[in-house]
Amino acid sequence: MTDTRQRSFEDNDQKPMGFGRMLRKEDPRFVRGRGRYTDDVQLPGMLHLAILRSPFAHARIVSVDTSAAAALPEVKAVITGADLAGLGLAWMPTLSGDVQAVLATDKVRFQGQEVAFVVATDRYAARDALELIDVEYDVLDPVIDVRQALAEGAPLIRDDLDGKTDNHCFDWETGDADATAAVFAKADVVVSQDLVYPRVHPAPMETCGSVADFDPVEGRLKLWSTTQAPHAHRTLYAMVAGIPEHKIQVISPDLGGGFGNKVPIYPGYVCSIVGSIVTGKPVKWMEDRSENLISTGFARDYIMRGEIAATRDGKILAIRTNVLADHGAFNGTAAPVKYPAGFFGVFTGSYDIEAAYCSMTAVYTNKAPGGVAYACSFRITEAVYLVERIVDCLAYELDMDPAALRLKNFIQPDQFPYMSKTGWEYDSGDYEPTMRLAMELAGYDELRKEQAEKRTRGELMGIGISFFTEAVGAGPRKHMDILGLGMADGCELRVHPTGKAVVRLSVQTQGQGHETTFAQIIAEEIGIAPADIDVVHGDTDNTPFGLGTYGSRSTPVSGAAAALVARKVRDKARLIASSMLEVSVADLEWEKGSFHVKGDPGTAVTIQDIAMRAHGAGDLPDGLEGGLEAQICYNPSNLTYPHGAYICVVDVDPGTAVVKVRRFIAVDDCGTRINPMIIEGQVHGGLTDGVGMALMEMISFDEDGNCLGASLMDYLIPTALEVPDWETGFTVTPSPHHPIGAKGVGESATVGSPPAIVNAVVDALKPYGVRHADMPLTPSRVWDAMRGTAQPP
């Protein structure tokens, strides 16, 4: 347990033979501008695709006239929904089992929906041609609010679905309603609070796009695309487009961030494939920023009622919640089939309670499709916000210190593995030391003193705590699949004759440094230096099958696969070493990178010696094949449950209601740490995300369904100016079922930080009797909260 604040950058230069701080192998490429992104792909004869989007949120399509556009000399094809319908391609399945229009045929159901596309010789001509397409719309009443969508007589959005008579998307529940009601009935104190987690957008630096190259002679499709899940996408394309799977190669080159935005299959990808088939040329589609913001997967958009029952002295007994989930016009997210609301089932947080119950109603509205898990393992962000906010509401009602209330209710170390009241088995955790470290780093008691003193002068200082447990690393095949595809991951390791290696992964990095950390995992297990290990990913032709990177699952699932495949190689190396050293296997001892004879460290062979022997001319032990390589498919036995304690200090200007985040202390526990420098980077990024969501970001709509956040002028994302110097620390509670004890961390800070910031702002406003205020806490919202003029959600 160390405070990492004092570490200097120099020790990043270490080149550890395994875990430890190490500069990222991929960065020389990125800092020299040598990254290769989808938009960098240039192919001979390549054409460019642009998409015509609906200006209306809800309208019937009366007619589409493409003749003027098609007459432009630069234009090679203009395709409408009717054309796609003729090919059986107008609709496609989503990764959560719904269907979504590739191009609208009957109606448009959100502003920005894809209506037609143009393929032309250059990007500008394609865009110009869009202006010449004449669409006649019959405008319908839009449904923007979830509650309106459920009201009697609301316009029906999904009349494409057989027998559909209302705007319900799905209903879901978890936990025990009766047992929870019984506990609520006997509790001394019950607190209930309505909360909104607004619609936000992942907004990665690189927008979405693809380059499709269909070869009609070979019947082969090569698709470069911005995808976090190349294998899952390939399987879906094979199923939808009818091209055999072995003839499809999906390449996900460097990605400029994903954050969940690049998990779904977007109509644009499919359009580029159709465009290439129709024109016989490679076709590139690259959306602009506005297209990304108005039409690709948004996140959150949950209206939640949280209820918490406790004794008068602060023992939490039960938690209950009801959620209205807005999925937009199509349920366009990816979610494990059995958990349509993802891991919202962990909304009971880090507390040992008697009963819990959650009910959820998901709804269609005339808004962009999605519900993607933006830096969130399938809805954990919403769950953590709910529990950490209502625990603070309880502290307010009991007039108890929020840190003391949390400490009193933690699941205890001897209770792990802990079965939650909604049926999730938390693998490991030791919460109190993490919380105490955060309090120590923050100087919690002094902060409270400072606050008390400031309050006497009318200054508004707030201290907010959030303690979270995440469930990441989906997941065991028996519980989790996406559209019938089990969530196990393949991994292949080859050691070349000279002792250098290549590891092939099914997951795909979006910036989080897999080329470094996966080399470190292999190095840790077989003692080949990370610099000598090439990490190959993001190409379905050259990597084993697996479900991709999201939900912080790469370390928990593929990281485990990498460790185990290396151990398999090491087992074979041991057999070869025993014949090289002419001793029995039992007499060998492994020291990172070499085997030696027990009691005789001088008699040894290195992994490099063994690699050469494995490929060499000499004899190998009886029955052993040559070569030094292995492949596995790893099916995790459980999710991993990282946790963390966050403390935020804010100052609110009583005259302008502007919130300044003065300090932020984050103590994370992700089990065994592979590369602490990368982990800190992940945490810094996630905390910045959190400031954005808590204080600035929201995709909103007017009553006609016009998206009001269609550019980065309107959709504010945080910069270095809005964030403090992050203060981080860590504890280490290894995962008992992961071969190296690692848990995921990529999303922890995004998940854990918004409640800490909101709790801090609400705490600052305590003198005004404020118990809750909804995100984003812009100055006007804080002002309303102070004056008691906030509108109910």
Summarize as ranges the residues that interact with ligand PCD (CB under 6 A).
204, 228, 257-260, 263, 373-376, 510-514, 517, 549-555, 670-675, 678-679, 682, 685, 742-747
Q: Which is nearer to ligand PCD, 464 or 476 (CB)?
A: 476
| Shortest separation between residue 572's beta carbon and ligand PCD, angstroms | 26
Q: Are 584 and 765 in contact (CB under 8 A)?
A: no
Please, which residue, 431 or 444, has the CB nearer to ligand PCD?
431
Comparing CB distances to ligand PCD, the nearer of 204 and 476 is 204
Q: To the nearest whole angstrom, how small is the minimum distance from the Cβ of residue 747 to ligand PCD?
A: 5
Q: How far is the CB of 486 from ligand PCD (least distance, A)?
A: 17
- The residue among 496 and 743 lying less far from ligand PCD, judged by its C-beta, is 743
Q: How far is the CB of 200 from ligand PCD (least distance, A)?
A: 11
Cβ atoms 19, 676 nearer than 8 A:
no
Cα 160 to Cα 221: distance, rounded to the nearest angstrom: 30
Closest of 559, 562, 535 to residue 630, by C-alpha: 562
Least separation in angstroms between residue 376's CB and ligand PCD is 5
- The angle subtended at Cα 552 by Cα 550 and Cα 558, nearest 5°, is 90
Q: Residue 234: how many CB atoms within 10 A of its CB?
A: 23
The answer to whether 197 touches 302, Cβ cutoff 8 Å, is: yes
Q: How many CA atoms lie within 13 A of 716 on its CB side?
A: 16
Residue 520, number of CB atoms within 10 A of its CB = 26
CB contact at 8 A, 217 and 277: no
Q: How far is the CB of 514 from ligand PCD (least distance, A)?
A: 5
Nearest by Cα to 59 from 700, 704, 701, 703: 704
Q: Which residue has the tokens 């936990």?
A: 175
The SS3 of residue 559 is: helix
Residue 58: closest CA among 158, 135, 189: 158
Name which of 393 and 487 has its Cβ closer to ligand PCD.
487
Are the CB atoms for 103 and 80 separated by under 8 Å?
Answer: yes
Cβ at position 752, least distance to ligand PCD in Å: 13
Q: Whose structure tokens read 């063994």?
A: 610
- With CB atoms as reference, the residue minimizing the distance to ligand PCD is 260
Q: How far is the CB of 74 from ligand PCD (least distance, A)?
A: 35
| CA separation for the pair 127, 147 (Å, rounded) | 38
Cβ at position 679, least distance to ligand PCD in Å: 5
Residue with Cβ nearer ligand PCD (142 or 486) = 486
Nearer to ligand PCD, 583 or 723 (CB): 723
- In the complex, what is the shortest distance from the CB of residue 240 to ligand PCD, in angstroms, rounded to a whole number? 23
Closest C-alpha to 739, from 570, 592, 590, 562: 562
Residue 345 CB, nearest distance to ligand PCD (Å)?
17
Closest contact distance (angstroms) between CB of 229 and ligand PCD is: 9
Q: How many angstroms from the chain centroid is the CA of residue 467?
A: 19
**257 or 654: whose CB is closer to ligand PCD?**
257
The 10 Å CB-count burial string (b at 16+, else e) for 33-52 is: eebebbbebeeeebbbbbbb
Nearest distance, CB of residue 18 and ligand PCD, angstroms: 12
Which residue, 276 or 520, has its beta carbon nearer to ligand PCD?
A: 520
Minimum CB distance to ligand PCD smaller for 645 or for 674: 674
Between CA 578 and CA 596 the distance in angstroms is: 9
Least spacing, CB of residue 352 vs ligand PCD, in Å: 25
Closest approach of ligand PCD to the CB of residue 272, in Å = 22
Q: Look at residues 542, 741, 562, 544 and name the one whose alpha carbon lies nearest to residue 640.
A: 741
What 3-state DSSP class applies to 165?
coil
Select 443 or 681, whichever has its Cβ closest to ligand PCD.
681
Q: Which is nearer to ligand PCD, 744 or 752 (CB)?
A: 744
Q: How many CB atoms lie within 10 A of CB 134?
A: 12
Contacts (Cβ under 8 Å, ≥6 apart) of 610? 573, 576, 577, 580, 595, 628
- The closest alpha carbon to 373, from 348, 344, 347, belongs to 344
Instruction: Evaluate whether 554 touches 503 at the Cβ level (below 8 Å).
Output: no
Beta bridge partners of 326: 363
Nearer Cβ to ligand PCD (292/409): 292
User: What's 12's DSSP letter?
Assistant: G
Q: Are 665 and 597 in contact (CB under 8 A)?
A: no
Contact (CB, 8 A) for 418 and 358 = no
8 A C-beta contact, residue 121 and residue 48: yes
CA-closest candidate to residue 408, choices 350, 464, 354 = 350
DSSP 546: B
What is the enclosing helix (H) or strand (E) of 710? Answer: none
Q: Which is nearer to ligand PCD, 552 or 594 (CB)?
A: 552
Any bridge partners for residue 190, and if so which? 309
Both tokens assigned to 382: 């919403």
**DSSP state string for 597-631:** ETTEEEEEEEHHHHHHHHHSSS--STT--SSEEEE
- For residue 181, give every residue at least 6 positions away whose Cβ sits within 8 Å of its Cβ, in sequence order, or none: 357
3-class secondary-structure state, position 182: helix
Toward ligand PCD, which CB reaches closer, 144 or 699? Answer: 699
CB 97 to ligand PCD: min, Å: 18
Beta bridge partners of 118: 50, 78
Least distance CB 89 / ligand PCD (angstroms):
27
Q: With respect to ligand PCD, which residue has the nearer C-beta, 573 or 679? A: 679
Instruction: Find the shortest distance in angstroms from Cβ 755 to ligand PCD.
Output: 18
Tell me the residue type at 248.
I
Beta carbon nearer to ligand PCD, 25 or 421: 25
Looking at beta carbons only, is 499 or 671 nearer to ligand PCD? Answer: 671
